[in-house]
Amino acid sequence: MCCGSGGVGKTTTAAALALRAAERHGRRTVVLTIDPARRLAQSLGLTELDNTPRQVKGIDVEESGGELHAMMLDMKRTFDDVVLQHTDPAKAAEIFANPFYQAMSSTFAGTQEYMAMEKLGQLHARGEWDLIVVDTPPSRSALDFLDAPARLSRFLDGRMLRMLLAPARSGGRSMFSLVTASFGMFSKVVQKVLGAQLLTDLSGFVAALDSMFGGFRQRAEQTYRILQARETAFLLVAAPEPDAVREAAYFAGRLREERMPLAGLVLNRVHRPTVPLDAATSREAADRLAELGGHEGAADVLRAHSALARQAVREQQVAARFTEAFPQVPTVSVTAQPADVHDVDGLRTIGAAISRS
């Protein structure tokens, strides 16, 4: 599970780890991205990704015997598949036509994270993979990845929806007459808040999914237990910037509370001076050369090195906020690349850097 704030190279790290597992360790690997950005497909040389694992061709697996597959979560398609799997075709068609389901399966808060859990559970249950690498959304959303399934399953199995389900079990009596007779003021309040049509759609949705309610919570709990298992590893990814490191520390604390296995921190895009010359010395040398005249090129190089050395010190200080708070968590530093990683060779470079560290 690769987690971290946005823009820190999390998707690249996930792809690099998956590629190295396939090429160097001969593992049958699948990498799943929940982030709708297209970077994963582009870096692996694929034109597109969808809800089904696609094998990545043209990688170096002849000696290792490994395989690499990649996919991107389609939350509506995953929700549809869950419905098809647990209901008959007629009931599924009724659910798909329901306006509340159409909205919920596409835009409802928490649906993406819940369906990510469903997809992870499906991949795990198939038993086809030696390694599943998950590229989660930015870290606050990744916290939703832990929280949203429980929230959504509580919603789908909640008391209010159970009350709305009662009319569907009434032998065909009108929904509103039954709700009014049974719950009185509750009906008026709910209609005022939600509106009569939405309440009708919601009741139909609840009635149609009645047989699936228990399964939502059960599967969420099963996948949650997978995330707590020893075979799982959470890997935090951050850049040496205050906000990114703060997010990583927040997430590390949360994982500790949830007793989930934190394997380490990948500190991406770290700057390292190429020669052991500190910032002050470089700047003084540049000033002396400028005073002498005729050495503008050398002076510029020394000034650039001075700026790089200062940046490296700042990054070390920022990283220390995490390492001092979590001294037991292994930390790997990956040097900033001269250009964005956009192909398999670039992924190999990142994977090798993580491995060497």
Residue range 299-318: average pLDDT? 92
Q: Binning pLDDT at 50, 70 and 90, where does residue 25 land?
A: very high
Q: What's the mean pLDDT when you consider all of the chain?
A: 82
pLDDT value of position 180: 44
Residue range 70-96: average pLDDT? 87
What lies within 8 Å, CB to CB, of 243 at 6+ separation is 5
- Written as one letter, the residue type at 172 is G
In 3D space, the residue among 321, 341, 339 whose CA is nearest the CA of residue 331 turns out to be 321
Phi-psi region of 34 (alpha: psi -120 to 50; beta: other; left: phi over 0): alpha
Q: pLDDT: is 35 or 296 the higher one?
A: 296
| Tens-digit pLDDT profile for residues 243-293 | 999 999 999 998 998 888 999 999 999 998 888 888 999 899 888 888 888
Q: Binning pLDDT at 50, 70 and 90, where does residue 162 land?
A: low
Three-class DSSP category at 35: coil
| Tens-digit pLDDT profile for residues 193-251 | 445 565 666 666 766 666 666 677 777 778 888 888 889 999 999 999 999 999 999 99
- pTM for this entry: 0.81
Is the pLDDT at 6 greater than 80? The verdict is yes
Is the pLDDT at 189 greater than 80? The verdict is no
Residue range 157-168: average pLDDT? 54
